[in-house]
Structure 1
Amino acid sequence: MATGMRKILTVVAAPARKAAAMMKKAATPLRKAVSPLRKVAAPFARALAPLAKHLAPLSKGPAFLRKGVVALREKARAAKLTIATCGLALFLGLFISLMGINSYAVMVALVVGLAAMVVACFILYAGVHGREWAISLSFILITFTIDATFRRRGDMADSGMDAQTLLKLVLWGGGFLIGALNFSHIKNALAESVPLRWLLAFATWSFFSTVYSITPTYTFGGGFGYLALLCFVAVVVQKLGMAKLRMGAIYACGLLTTSALALYAVMPSIAVAQLENGSTPRLCGLTGSPNNLGRTAAIALFFIFFAVRDKQVKFWRPDIAIIALSAVVSLLMSWSRTSLAGVIAAIAIVFLRRRILLMLWGAIGVLTTFFAMILANVDWDRLISVFSRHGSLSELTTLTGRTAIWHFVWNAIEKKPLLGYGYGSTKLLISSGFWTVFGWTTTSAHNMFLQALVTTGAVGALCIVMVILLQLRDFVKRPNDMADAAFIFVLITGFSEAGAVGVAPNLLTIFWLMSLVVPRGERVAEQVPEQVQPLRGESWALPARPTGSWT
């Protein structure tokens, strides 16, 4: 059959080849006739070349004409903005009158909400078109709101949609658009960072776990948020540079810590969470959880330390000093021992790893103190209980009840070890089946690996393990102080908290992504962000400037 087809094609193609050969022969005399004309015209072209250079500016129009066009464009933009504002005002008036809204509070809320939507659309438009200020503002907004909560849900298992969840989805969606429309940066980040590829696989699997999740709506929103943040952070790190991004994170975290203290001074009942049957008051602020506030404060101190170390800012600068002080107070009042230990250990390990002699003397000092305490017959129970909130040793040995949570979670894992219950499903799984003797429950596994395993199964947990192993390899072979310190912080907090793979994307997720996207290798003195390209019809451009690095 194949031989027959070849014969048919040969018969059909033969006339076409003959026709092409005849056309080529017919065109040969024409080429020969045109060739002398080219030689005659060449001197005239060379003579007119200088005149063409002088006439080139005139082809673009006189200067006053161009200025007039620019002025008309500006007036047209102003006219469009005026028409849009009038249209929005007319819409609001008609909406209020038709709906019969008589409450001034509802009217104000409606106007503020629509105004916020218009501003958000404007910021998103500017961010998609590469405006640096819009991308920076988007990063600060997402970082501030990701752990903030403006309502208190009575039912912890409630995974329905409300205004706050919708706001976060809108912000994540804007971040996803900024990332997706600058896909080349995502491609470059994935090419440079192998751990980021594995985290992308985890985010993708989390999103598709919606298919079998016991909380499909919540899983869909959380999985989409993880993908959106990955795309957004990959673009932001490359376009802004780590120095500007670091300052944005400091201000976003500073807003949460300072607002927590301000709220505590004005309305302490709202700013404080009464945990463990009301026996342990802990500061939570707008984050809704003491551990979330402690994590936010620790990250603020983390970035301030490296900004001061790299001489990007001075510690006694008023805004930095205020944020640092509020972060320290918030960290202590939240009683978040994991975050405190994490930030101290992260900075200490990175500080000591190039100082072998100092590390050796430190180890000798610790061992000497330990043996001296043994010889002095110290009451260990009493000493250890100092670090307990209630002075109880069992609180530390059970990690404040976490061992019971881990036992419950492991039993759930044994039932669905391969796929898990869907990303973020512990919000329903644990809160509806686990209760302590004090009558309280939780929404996460309080362990990074167990959280990934119970929600996304062995498939998702494998991705997380690969990310950690690859970061550990980079820690040894391609050191980068700030990225490595962030990795240590994520590991330590991930031991007793769900951390970067929690019930929903959180501040630690952004923090981890930043450490994965940053370029590794030799110590880099400067990192220059990409120049922002102007919009069509505009002539502005921001100069490329050195902005520091994760060193």
Structure 2
Amino acid sequence: MLNVNSSAGKSQFSSREVFGGGILACMPVFVYFYILLVLPFMAGGGKARPENILFWPVMAAVIFALVLQNWSRINTAFLRSLPIASLIAYLVFASASVTWAYSPNYAFSRAVVTILAAFIIVMPYALPINTKHTIARLHICCAAALAISAVYVLTTPSTPIGHPGYFTHKQELGLLAATGLILASHELLFGSWWRRIIASVSISLSFWLVFASQSKSALAFALAALVTSAVVLVICKKIRITPAHIVGAVVIASLFVHNPIERIGYRIYGDSTLTGRTGIWEFTNYQISRRPWLGWGFHSYYFVPNSPQNEAKGYIKDMPSSHSGYLQLKLETGRLGYWIFLVFIYASLYFVELVRRRDPVRAWFILSIEIFAILINLTDTVWLTLTDLWILYLIVVADSVNYSLSPQLMRGVRQISRSRIVGKVVRTARRPRLSNA
């Protein structure tokens, strides 16, 4: 579980009680490190490198062996929880889409890697491991990536649309800077003195790099996520609802506004096309209409032989994604897959409220990452991609479920509920009764 403050950061269990607990606790951070600081330096993004091909099955085998060794310690409630169950359901559906995919071979190989990555990250949280230093380790990885990116920005030429750092596209550097801002904000406010020093440097680098990459939306969404998550949690405490209710209400309200994203883009940036994204979305919606219910198959549309994207004209033909995580879900797995994944998103938001009742600071950090991911997928594609933000999102979701289902927290929630009931009974008993005249 993520370390948010000195008391709440302590695990409910000791890693020493679990065989290989230290390895299990470090594995999600190691995957984050690999995606952020190893994979980008491999030729071709590591896609055809034997090291990358072997990495995922080897790591999954290690996790599987440790899980078998600790089989009796698995928290089955974690696996049955709605966020984890809906994630599993989507991955099963994505695997089934191989049978109707436009390019079955590509769909199969990409689905396998996505499933292995999710298994490596999520499964350790089904065991009582001590991950009290996870948040600090994630921040150190991110700070190292920011420092390396700064060197690249200073020593290599930029592109006309922004500097990519050591990544292949400037948007990846923008995402790194934005997530670094969220991680560093937590460390600056609640970390130890040396973590605050690193966080101060990270925040400075984050602001500089996000402008160097010209990723204005990433910065806007990160700042909005930090503020919105705090406001949402205060509202949840006052009127006893969950972040899922608030986000759902905003989504429903936006249905009554014509082109809400374009309107916001025009008011903030003076560009209702959002740098040409509306044209991409129009063509993507056309392709979705051709296979509305089941889609083109999981990751079986872009970067496949004779891709249907080649039917597009102009700059749209060269796009590597739909520039919308939600449209890409519909494009690849249709309406059915899209609805399953929405259950995963809203269920994850619901569990943040359970965390807030015990540890508001932890809940603020988790909700900031979740809201940032929800917002950034309005204009870019992050869901179910091997990017640092998707890995970080899986980590915070798994941690929130793990923490919410811990025995100590559940006893605390039951005690709070019991005290509220007793309080209502006492107030009712004290209320004066009207005498019958």
Equivalent runs, 1:78-477 vs 2, <5 Å: 129-132=20-23, 135=27, 138-145=30-37, 148=40, 150-151=42-43, 162-163=48-49, 166-183=50-67, 184=71, 188=76, 190-191=78-79, 193-237=81-125, 241-268=130-157, 272=158, 274=159, 280-312=160-192, 314=194, 316-317=196-197, 319-353=198-232, 388=269, 393=270, 396-428=271-303, 429=307, 431-436=309-314, 441-475=318-352
Distance 1:128 1:432 in 2: 51
Distance 1:448 1:344 in 2: 20
What per-residue deviation string (whole Å, max 9, x for no partner) do you get for residues 100-133 of structure 1?
xxxxxxxxxxxxxxxxxxxxxxxxxxx9955549
- The answer to whether the 8 Å contact 1:140/1:251 transfers is no
1:241 CA displacement: 4.3
Q: Gaps spanning 5+ residues in structure 1: where?
A: 1-126, 154-159, 275-279, 360-383, 528-551
Runs of 4+ aligned structure 1 residues displaced above 6 Å come to 521-524
- 2:369 maps to 486
* Paired AA for residue 31 in structure 2: F
- The answer to whether the 8 Å contact 1:199/1:467 transfers is yes
What per-residue deviation string (whole Å, max 9, x for no partner) do you get for residues 291-342 of structure 1?
111111211221222233333454542x444333322221221122222122
Distance 1:173 1:189 in 2: 26
1:433 CA displacement: 2.8
Distance 2:194 2:322 in 1: 40
What per-residue deviation string (whole Å, max 9, x for no partner) do you get for residues 489-510 of structure 1?
1110111111123xx3222221
Q: How many residues end up aligned between the 2 structures?
A: 348
Local SS of the residue matching 1:181: helix
Q: Gaps spanning 5+ residues in structure 2: where?
A: 1-17, 239-264, 357-362, 410-437
Change (3 A) 1:404 1:255: same
Change (3 A) 1:500 1:385: closer
What per-residue deviation string (whole Å, max 9, x for no partner) do you get for residues 373-418 of structure 1?
xxxxxxxxxxx88964xxxx3xx20111111111111111111122
Structure number with larger C-alpha Rg: 1
Q: TM-score, length-normalised on structure 2?
A: 0.69
* Paired AA for residue 383 in structure 2: A
Change (3 A) 1:492 1:313: farther
Q: TM-score, length-normalised on structure 1?
A: 0.56
1:186 CA displacement: 6.9
Local SS of the residue matching 1:498: coil
Distance 1:281 1:519 in 2: 37
Change (3 A) 1:243 1:329: farther
Distance 1:244 1:263 in 2: 29
- The answer to whether the 8 Å contact 2:22/2:129 transfers is no
Indicate the structure whose relative CO is greater, using CA pairs within 8 Å and at least 6 residues apart: 2
Change (3 A) 1:505 1:443: same
Change (3 A) 1:300 1:514: same
Identical residues among aligned pairs (%): 16
Change (3 A) 1:355 1:199: closer
Distance 1:354 1:214 in 2: 43
Local SS of the residue matching 2:323: coil
What per-residue deviation string (whole Å, max 9, x for no partner) do you get for residues 443-465 of structure 1?
21111221111111223212111
Local SS of the residue matching 1:495: coil
Distance 1:221 1:323 in 2: 36
Distance 1:150 1:402 in 2: 30
Local SS of the residue matching 2:162: strand
Distance 1:248 1:209 in 2: 36
Local SS of the residue matching 2:395: helix
1:175 CA displacement: 2.9
- The answer to whether the 8 Å contact 2:352/2:400 transfers is no
- The answer to whether the 8 Å contact 1:297/1:327 transfers is yes
What per-residue deviation string (whole Å, max 9, x for no partner) do you get for residues 492-546 of structure 1?
0111111123xx322222122112211457799x99xxxxxxxxxxxxxxxxxxx
- The answer to whether the 8 Å contact 1:338/1:492 transfers is no
1:161 CA displacement: 5.5
* Paired AA for residue 182 in structure 2: F
Local SS of the residue matching 2:209: helix
- The answer to whether the 8 Å contact 2:28/2:120 transfers is no
* Paired AA for residue 214 in structure 1: Y
Equivalent runs, 1:459-538 vs 2, <5 Å: 459-475=336-352, 479=356, 480-501=363-384, 504-519=385-400
Distance 2:82 2:224 in 1: 26
Distance 1:137 1:191 in 2: 21
